[in-house]
Structure 1
Amino acid sequence: MPLTELQIRNARSGEKIIQLGDDRGLYLEVHPNGSKLWRYKYRHAAKQKRLALGRYPDVGLAEARRRRDEARRQLESGIDPLMARKREKLTAAFNAANSFGDVAKEYIDKMVAEGRADTTISKVNWLLEQLQPIAAFPITDLKPMDVLAALKRIEARGKYETARRCRSFAGRVFRYAVATGRGETDPTAILRGAMIVPKVKHHAAILEPAQLGELLRSIDSYSGHAITRLAMQVSPHVMARPGEIRKATWAEFDLDNAVWKIPAERMKMRRPHEIPLSRQVLAYLEELSALTGPTGFVFPAFHTFKRPLSENTVNQAFRRLGYAVGEVTAHGLRTTASTLLNESGKWAPDAIERSLAHSDANSVRGVYNRGRYWDERVAMHQWWSDYLDQLRLGGGVVPFPEPDRTAKKSRSHLKAV
């Protein structure tokens, strides 16, 4: 006979477990400690099994019967309810151990193992910090609206570019989860149109020759630390990125052959890069050698030679010289060189791009061009340094001089990049 609520409430415990039967395999266990637990007894694959359905009174009689009926439907479909329960628990445990934050950290560890630049690793760790609102969620549970809500919080602070980068990083994490069997889809794929498109901001740069000459004279008169002055003096000539310059070591310089060889791990595109050194740059390096050489960083920090110059030092020096943020930046000097070299019409655009260490969109062509234009680049760098000197000394707009053919011939013996 089926149980009633009154029978269940009045059931008393004994020295052993007491079983009170209900109907169709459902029964109540009354334990010596007074606990009352629902059980469902069934047979599957010729084996007797039982399934726990909860504790009374948390699970009442009606709810226990509903859970029994659900298990019976699984049996009718050929599913073992007990195995289905275990599978659900394993899935829940798996999801709990594979939160978005966990998978993102694993993805970052993969980037480290692949040799990505320290600055890149720092940036993606920072992006993960911005995505903390979704970090604890199982990656399989996250929906597009969950990710969008986190991104909109960033946009609400006016950080449109940060939000865009966070969406891109999150997408890479979701795709990594799919590739490693922890995810099913990339929910960021449909969010592109929901994000505010940030306005493109170019690095501030001087593009007029007369203004460039004024800047070079200001740099020469800089009264701050000599290492900072020399960093500003070298930067316009070598066309390298600020991070590549400030982390340069003396071991990278072949002064006898006038070449700066930057290893792949320090380059943005993860390819080694070689820069011809003009007479002017060699003179600056000679002055630097007396201050910081012959080993370690070429531009060390002021308080310790164990670390490179701070990434903000040169830009702060420009501010001290009276140049606003929107006028000059260390990175903008590359734009200055690219613009004026191209406007001169004297050098192959590919040679200029190679000196700027820009990647070729065509990978096959990029590999082919890697070793080309070295002789032209040697002549171009010397011409560029000579031109900068004319601007610095002349104080006005000067005509573009002819390429220094003698410099090109004198260094033509150098091995191609």
Structure 2
Amino acid sequence: MFQKNIQKRPLSEKILATLHPKDRDYREHDGNGLYIVIAQNNTKFWQFRYKNADGKWAWIGIGTYPQISLLMARHKAHEYREALAKGEDLKALKRLHKQQNKKETLYFQNLMCDWLNIKVKQWGEVTYNKAEKSIYKHLIPAFGGRDYVDISAKEWFEFFQGLQRNLGIHTQVEKLVAYVRSCYDWAKFQGKINSNPIDGMMKYLDRRHNNNMRFIEIEEMPVLLERIRTCKPRAIGIGLELMILLFPRPSELRFARWEHFDLQKALWTKPAETTKTRQLHQVPLSHQAIQLLKELKEIQPESDYLFPGRGTLHQPISNMTFNTNLNKLGYEGRQHPHGFRHLASTVMNEMFSHKGQVIEACLAHKKKGVKAIYDKAQHLDERRVLMQWWADFVN
């Protein structure tokens, strides 16, 4: 039961703060049919009083305070008065709004917005802005107003394949797939969906193949490894396996010197003059890579280079040596030494879409813009974990 002495005065946030519970629920009148109820348990909620179709006084709830502010409550009361003037049924109107609001919570754009709110705290400003721009350029116009549960794996596949073939944005598509996959994973762990329609999709989308980016499917890796491990000479086989495990740019491994490696600290420090970015780059060494380097040290002639050229110990091997040997193993036109970088990037982005910056650091990609100025992080500890995971995965 309510106390009958309802106050009649325009409310304010200051007045609302002074309204305390009494021994019975009571109402305060703001005006124009809008009331706030102060319950005995100290909850406050808005109500609108009106005459229904039978000419009797009735109440309809608006929401709790302060979740629904005074301004919002007045706006909703104004909507109700306009609806009554048009002869509309407020109860039916409220049910319709509730259904619409429930439907909108299932929109893909709202799910993606919630996911981005998490990523804004995890990513750097430049990374976040680039991702957000790409998402709102490609994903939201296509699927923003759709129920994310109803978007089928086939629709997603055809959409991404269309971007590849019509726009030729293969690298951007890889990132978009990673964003959507991570977004659905988040929804799955929130109990909103049971399965992720994007899982495993990258292996069936078109590959970006140019002369130096050709790479096999990951399922073909066991056969390739078996052939590499029987490759003659053994030193070249070790080089090709290191190319897989460490995925450097081929020239970086060609010019690698023993002095750059610290097996005790499990680090390969590439000097700036040997890298594409002209920046020093450290590569954590997995257990498997260290074993291969120890074996290589035993079988190679004395030289500053890991892979000295034929007939000379003072120059590295030819820039075609690794590619030529891959061709001899039966992978001509299918696997290029540089393609191991793309293969590693594809798999790791598929498995660890939330670690984009760490993967970029593994690949020694140069940071751009403000990120390059202020973010000097190498993510070394995280890269150690990721590089060991990759070596274990490959093996």
Instruction: Bin the TM-score by the shorter chain.
Output: 0.3 to 0.5
State the TM-score, normalized to the length of structure 2: 0.45
Larger CA Rg, structure 1 vs 2: 1
State the TM-score, normalized to the length of structure 1: 0.43
